Structure 1
């Protein structure tokens, strides 16, 4: 649920404005408009001087997306109340606080930038005719920026608290959901990878062995398992073993010149796989049964955990310099299914559709039912070409599928797809909006097609 402005916040903002003469407000407003570029640069120079902040946003992102937004903010907070009402300004500060919470910008960094911004205003005021420097303008700048920071910080705290609760709930859910089935699936995936490697070695094709991190088991563990079992020694051991096998054991195998060395490295690889299987069993044995957080009809994840998963994948992409795709999916003309065949048929179609989706993704990917006939897929560790190819395969598969209805009836369906690659922006909402815009474009182009966000003329700009 979105934060909304309290009456007290709006009254506080209106009170700050009312304290000062129109001439004082006009003076500050003129300075803000005249020097907005330099003041915005001052804010971001202060922010980017901190190592933690520079990991969240780069100089390029500031120049391309954020600098213009900051300039607008500087002029808007000092706008005439007849142009922008106090309630609208409070709502903007709330939205900014929500963004800061989503991308996990530390509050102290924002406050540091605000302090630098105030100092910039003070210097500009001091450079004017001293006879006009009665202190009222300085107080107006201080109170306005401080109140904006107060509202942002309050919103940030509330949003962060909700995210923390959802994150813990998701961690518990992902740890125990269908635990016994997941354990067998991942044990089988680990065995499949081991068998594939051993076959390559046996037939003398060890020049380039399949890496564990890119296997079904590796994708699942790096993107889901490590989150579900975070903080356990077994999870850390498996993660370290994946890296060791891929970076040390397999390169040594590929470079081995004699049979004895190749056999020794193969035995070490097999030992690592066996220990990982044992650690995996231990992790699942520790998990207790817990249900919830999944869509009742389709058993896919529901909207509740979308922020948790996307935040986690944004952080992962930043740390590993990897990519992921957000794929918005909508069943075409689904309302007609319910209207013509009834809601029982609609539910059957949704269940079959969800099963097809689940059968079409890899172990590390995520599937959500957002509501009605709207679904979302998060495809991890992919570039745009691979993401587009996978989405097109899914579209073709759905179009070719025969869906079963009550009383032995059948029907066919199509889907529209909007795809957006994560472009490095720290706020995951940007990728979601771009995928939604692309999905809307697919609908406008006649449905049963895929549109990539970068192909849409009306691109989403950063907030």
Structure 2
């Protein structure tokens, strides 16, 4: 049974509090003293062991990651092993944040546990070396072991929730790719339901035994819905309603004997009831496909660009490819200048027209291998794969020139010159895509601050968005 977040936090903090309480002051002091003397050696031992692991090397080999993680790991070890009752709410929040980051980067959960075990082994070796009192040594080992287990457990619960959500999006993205064309699939499945109904009516009218009529759940549509459809659609209530109608139709048909079908009035009830259930299935199915076509296929309904839902799935994949191949890629955040004034002066129809116009130019200007997302409102994200910074800047400047030279003419009269501000960031080898987004967003902010209608590139040392460090 899954525990809700507040109950789980209260439970883990009570256990953590109880562990602190039963551990002697001497054991606490020994651990704090050891951390003061050997914290860097503990982290070095961790790296020496983990960099020999092929799975770990993918996430730890970047020099930037090493430089950042050395201090972060030391801070984590110190925070957990020297924890006090007053620290617990903040400590639990930190473990949850780290678990979310691990899931976002895609670090395997077993790798996290393996790394914690390496830290424990190194710690135990030093405790045995420094403590001659066996009772005190046991007390310090018990505390360090259990408190690290608690920290990893909190991480794991957060990781599991985040990983489950990202896996669901990834699976939906894959399944939607399998569907190829939502509109085509919609017509195919609606036709399959109708074909089953027509065959059923014909068979009943011609006196074919009901046992020889394929149940709807085993017909073409029923099989498709069971193996594909129910996993693509996210409306739980409507999916459950279709499943209930499938089951109900087949059960109702099965309740009729040959003698009952031979009675005209009963046969009429059978045909009318089944037809009503099939029509309800068709209506629900059409609604689900309509929603899928607008939102769940990853396309923004206004601009027909990818929406931001699948950004994590695509960025994780591109980062993995870039890290394996060593090829660069560039992210750009693009914002329409003074977009609010367009809406205020000419109305929302003009604003929508501006968004559509810019989306069309973006789509036409990038390579087929690149990605264009409507990030939200008047902001767009572009991903230039296997591209250098100079190549990305050339494409962006071409886009800006096209926009400036193609003003918008609202239906109410007047002319709108569209300009955009752009922030670029070259992939730096760090596996966390959120850092890349924040850096590109920071460059975009600089472009807007420096006068708009320009392109800025993120440089090391430039302040990034808050919350970047984990």
Question: TM-score, structure 1 length as denominator?
Answer: 0.70
Task: Quickly say closer, same or farther: Cα 1:448–1:128, change in 2 above 3 A.
Answer: same
Q: Match of 1:101? A: 103
Kindly indicate whether the alpha-carbon contact (under 8 Å) linking 1:420 and 1:434 is maintained by their aligned counterparts in 2: yes
Deviations 1:386-439 (A, max 9, x none): 112212222232233202323233201221111111112122222111111111
Q: Match of 2:440? A: 435
Hey, which bits of structure 1, 4+ residues long, moved more than 6 A? none
Aligned with 2:34 (options 31, 45, 53): 31
Q: Distance in 2 between matches of 1:69 and 1:103?
A: 16
Q: Match of 2:116? A: 114
Equivalences for residues 8-27 of structure 1 within 5 A: 8-21=8-21, 23=25, 24-27=27-30
Deviations 1:147-200 (A, max 9, x none): 11112222222222222221122223345566899xxxxxxxxxxxxxxxxxxx
Aligned with 2:165 (options 159, 162, 167): 162
Question: TM-score, structure 2 length as denominator?
Answer: 0.69
Q: Match of 1:314? A: 319
Task: Quickly say closer, same or farther: Cα 1:63–1:412, change in 2 above 3 A.
Answer: same
Q: Distance in 1 between matches of 2:397 and 2:5?
A: 43
Q: Distance in 2 between matches of 1:369 and 1:412?
A: 20
What is the Cα-based RMSD across aligned positions, in Å? 2.7
Q: Match of 1:394? A: 399
Equivalences for residues 177-188 of structure 1 within 5 A: none
Task: Quickly say closer, same or farther: Cα 1:10–1:388, change in 2 above 3 A.
Answer: farther
Q: Match of 2:449? A: 444
Q: Distance in 2 between matches of 1:58 and 1:325?
A: 21
Deviations 1:234-266 (A, max 9, x none): xxxxxxxxxxxxxxxxxxxxxxxxxxxxxxxxx
Q: Match of 1:358? A: 363
Kindly indicate whether the alpha-carbon contact (under 8 Å) linking 1:46 and 1:112 is maintained by their aligned counterparts in 2: no
Task: Quickly say closer, same or farther: Cα 1:439–1:62, change in 2 above 3 A.
Answer: closer
Q: Match of 1:152? A: 155
Task: Quickly say closer, same or farther: Cα 1:156–1:34, change in 2 above 3 A.
Answer: same
Q: Distance in 1 between matches of 2:325 and 2:161?
A: 29
Q: Secondary structure at the match of 2:301?
A: coil
Q: Offset at 1:59?
A: 5.9
Q: Distance in 2 between matches of 1:20 and 1:455?
A: 42
Q: Match of 2:265? A: none
Whether 1:300 aligns to 2:342 is no
Q: Match of 2:45? A: 42
Kindly indicate whether the alpha-carbon contact (under 8 Å) linking 1:442 and 1:449 is maintained by their aligned counterparts in 2: yes
Q: Match of 1:135? A: 138
Task: Quickly say closer, same or farther: Cα 1:335–1:430, change in 2 above 3 A.
Answer: same
Q: Distance in 2 between matches of 1:33 and 1:393?
A: 56
Q: Distance in 2 between matches of 1:402 and 1:80?
A: 61
Q: Distance in 1 between matches of 2:19 and 2:71?
A: 29
Q: Offset at 1:314?
A: 0.9
Q: Offset at 1:61?
A: 4.0
Kindly indicate whether the alpha-carbon contact (under 8 Å) linking 2:127 and 2:137 is maintained by their aligned counterparts in 1: no
Q: Secondary structure at the match of 2:50?
A: helix
Q: Distance in 1 between matches of 2:5 and 2:330?
A: 34
Q: Offset at 1:62?
A: 4.5
Q: Secondary structure at the match of 1:157?
A: helix
Kindly indicate whether the alpha-carbon contact (under 8 Å) linking 2:346 and 2:412 is maintained by their aligned counterparts in 1: no
Q: Distance in 2 between matches of 1:456 and 1:414?
A: 28
Q: Distance in 2 between matches of 1:405 and 1:456?
A: 43
Task: Quickly say closer, same or farther: Cα 1:176–1:362, change in 2 above 3 A.
Answer: farther
Task: Quickly say closer, same or farther: Cα 1:79–1:129, change in 2 above 3 A.
Answer: closer
Q: Distance in 2 between matches of 1:359 and 1:178?
A: 21
Q: Secondary structure at the match of 2:415?
A: strand
Deviations 1:254-313 (A, max 9, x none): xxxxxxxxxxxxxxxxxxxxxxxxxxxxxxxxxx99623211111111111000110111
Task: Quickly say closer, same or farther: Cα 1:421–1:62, change in 2 above 3 A.
Answer: closer
Task: Quickly say closer, same or farther: Cα 1:5–1:388, change in 2 above 3 A.
Answer: farther
Whether 1:173 aligns to 2:170 is no
Q: Match of 1:268? A: none
Q: Match of 1:423? A: 428
* Structure 1 unmatched runs, 5+: 182-287
Q: Offset at 1:384?
A: 1.3
Kindly indicate whether the alpha-carbon contact (under 8 Å) linking 2:81 and 2:148 is maintained by their aligned counterparts in 1: no
Q: Distance in 1 between matches of 2:157 and 2:309?
A: 22
Q: Secondary structure at the match of 1:329?
A: strand
Task: Quickly say closer, same or farther: Cα 1:425–1:98, change in 2 above 3 A.
Answer: same
Task: Quickly say closer, same or farther: Cα 1:71–1:369, change in 2 above 3 A.
Answer: same
Q: Match of 2:330? A: 325
Task: Quickly say closer, same or farther: Cα 1:36–1:97, change in 2 above 3 A.
Answer: same
Q: Distance in 1 between matches of 2:457 and 2:140?
A: 49
Q: Distance in 1 between matches of 2:392 and 2:452?
A: 19
Larger radius of gyration: 2
Q: Secondary structure at the match of 1:405?
A: coil
